[in-house]
Structure 1
Amino acid sequence: MRLAEKHAIVTGGASGFGAGITTKFLQEGARVMIADINANAAEAAASIACETYGAGRAIAQAVDVADRASVDQMARAALDHFGQIDIIVNNAGVSHLPTPLEDVSEDDFDRVVAVNMKSVYLTARALVPHMKSRNSGVILNVASTAGVSPRPNLNWYNASKGWMITATRTMAVELAPMGVRVNAINPVAGETPLLQTFMGEDTPEIRAKFLSTIPIGRFSTPEDMGNAACYLCSDEASMVTGVALEVDGGRCI
C-alpha cells in the first residue's frame, strides 16, 4: 500500500499505459481520477475499479488535455471530490503516422504539440498552485524513448517527447524548493492503441523490425509502466526528481 491516502489524476487513464498506471495506483491504495477524452471508457474503467477496490476509489472525468477550459474543469472536479491532489500523471499522448518530416500535415503537427506538450503546461497551470500551497506533490510525465533515441519518420512526435523530458527537468529544478517532485518515464513501444500509429501498419515483419531494436526482446506493457510510475510517485522516491527513467528493455543503450 505504497500510495495509501494519496489522490491522483491520470490523464489518458482508461487505456494503454494509462490504464496500467491507474490499476497499479489502485492496487497500492490510491484514489484515482481516470481522466480520458473517451468519456465512456473512463466511466467503464472507474466502475470496474470501484467494484474491485471499493466504492469511491476511482472517479471518471472526460477531458481534452489540449483545451484549457477542459483541463481547468478536470482540476476543479478532482479537488471538489478528493479535497487534495497528491499526484498528477500526464500520460495522454498522440503520434502521427510514420511520415517524412516535411510531409507531416500542419494539422497533425499541431495536434501532437497540443496533446503531448501544451497539456503539460495546462495541467501545471491548473494544479501546481495547489501543490505549492501544500508544499507537497508529485508530477509524472509519460515521455518516450523517442525523445532520447529518435526513430526515423516519427520526427515531430520524437521532438515532442524530447520537449517533455526537458520540461520535466526544468519543472523539477523550479519546484523542488516548494516540495514538489517532477519525473518522467520513457517507455519503448508497447501493446497500446498507439502501437499501430508508430508502425504505420501492423504486420509480423514490422513487429519483428521494432522488436529487433529492444535487447530484452519484447514490447513494453501497461504493467511495466504502472510499476515504474508507482515507485516514482511513492515516498520511496522522495529524493528522486528531474529523472527521465527509461523503461525500455535496453532500447536506448
Structure 2
Amino acid sequence: MFAREGARVFLAGRTQAKLDAVARDVAAAGGRADVAQVDVFDQRAVDEHAEGVAASVGSIDIALNAVSVMHDQGTPLADLSLEEFMRPIQGFLQTLFVTSKAVARHMGGNRPGVVLTLSEPGARLALPGILGDGVSAAGKEAFSRLLAAELAPRGIRVVDIRPHAVVDAPAAGSYTGELFAKSAAASGRSVAEFLGDGGLAQGTLLNRLPTLSEIAETAAFLASDRAGAMTATIANLSGGALVD
C-alpha cells in the first residue's frame, strides 16, 4: 500500500523469507523495497539499520511498528504465570521504545515525520483471560500519546491504529491461529468459527472483523499529508466493538 502511494519502502524483520515475499509484492505493485534481517530486541542493530536507511535517502519520513510477540490469551489470573503476564508488556513496549528512538532522530527535518503504532481492543475491554494483552495494549496507546507530545515541536506526528483481530491474518501467515487456539478450544469452536460470524465478529457493530487491506489503507492515509492535523490519537478499526 505504501509503495502504491509512492513511498520508498524499507522492510526490517526477523524472517528473511517473509521479508522477501513482501518485497516481491512491493515490486509487483511497481515500487521498490529494500529488506534487512534485524532483531528488534537488539537496540544497537536497530539503531544501525535506521542510520543506514537515513544515510541512503536523507531522512526517515514514516515508521510503522508492526512488531508482535506471541503471548497468552485465555488464561485467568489463578493459572497465569508472572512470565506469561509480563511477556507482551515487556515485548511490545520494549520494541516500541527501541524502534521509536531509532527513527525519531532521523525525522522532522525538511519534511514532517510520522510514527505509526498498533494496539488492540484489549486496552479498553473488560474481559477475562487477557490480562497481559490488555495491559500491554493500554501501554502501547499511552506510549503513542506521550511520544506525540514529545515529538510535536519537531513536526513529528504519532498515531496509533487499533484494529480488532484481523479476519484474514491466519491466511497471511501470522500467528493469529495459534494465539486464539486456547480460547477457541474452550468455546468448542475452531479458530475460524471463534473469529467469524458466531464469535468475535458478532461483538462488533458491523458484524465483521477488519481486513489487512483496510488496516493498510488506513495506515497509508494516516501517514499522508491528508491526515496532517492528526496526532496523539487512536484510529479505531474495531468494527464498532469499541465506540470512542
Under a length normalisation based on structure 2, what TM-score does the superposition of the two structures give? 0.85
Residue 19 (structure 1) aligns with: none
Distance (whole Å) between structure 1 residues aligned to residue 58 and residue 24 of structure 2: 21
Alignment partner of 1:217 out of 207, 216, 240: 207
Give the Cα separation in 2 of the matches to 1:155 and 1:76. Answer: 36
Match of 1:168 in 2: 144
Does the 8 Å CA contact 2:11/2:34 hold for their aligned counterparts?
A: yes
Q: Residue 198 of structure 1: CA displacement?
A: 3.2
Query: For the aligned residues, what is the CA RMSD?
Result: 2.0
Pairs aligned (count): 228
Residue aligning to 2:223: 233
Q: Does structure 2 retain, via aligned residues, the 8 Å contact 1:137–1:181?
A: yes
* Structure with max Cα Rg: 2
Structure-2 residue corresponding to 1:17: none
- Residues 43, 59 of structure 1: 8 Å contact kept: no
Determine whether 1:34 maps to 2:24: no
Q: Does 1:143 align with 2:119?
A: yes
CA contact (8 A) 1:65 1:115 kept: no
Q: Could you tell me the TM-score, scaled by structure 1's length?
A: 0.82
Match of 1:67 among 38, 42, 54: 42
Q: Between 194-203 and 214-223, report the one with greater CA deviation.
A: 194-203
Q: How far does residue 120 in structure 1 lie from its aligned partner after superposition?
A: 1.0
Who is 1:198 aligned against?
A: 180
Say which structure, 1 or 2, has more relative contact order (CA 8 Å, 6+ apart).
1
Structure 2 regions of 5+ residues with no counterpart? 185-189
Structure 1, unpaired ranges of 5+: 1-23
The residue identity in structure 1 corresponding to 2:68 is: G
Please point out which of 27, 34, 45 is paired with 1:50: 27
- Quote how far apart the aligned CAs of 1:61 are: 1.6
Letter in 2 for 1:44: A
CA shift for structure 1 position 113: 2.6
Residues 135 and 178 in structure 1, CA contact (< 8 A), matched pair in contact too:
no
Task: Check whether the contact 1:98–1:199 (CA below 8 A) recurs between aligned residues.
Answer: no
Q: What's the CA shift for 1:38?
A: 1.2
The CA deviation string for residues 149-205 of structure 1, in whole angstroms up to 9 with x for no partner, is 253212101111100111111111121111110010100111322432035243455
The aligned counterpart of 1:154 is 130
Cα 1:204–1:236 shift into 2, 3 Å: closer
How far has the Cα of 1:80 moved from its partner?
3.4
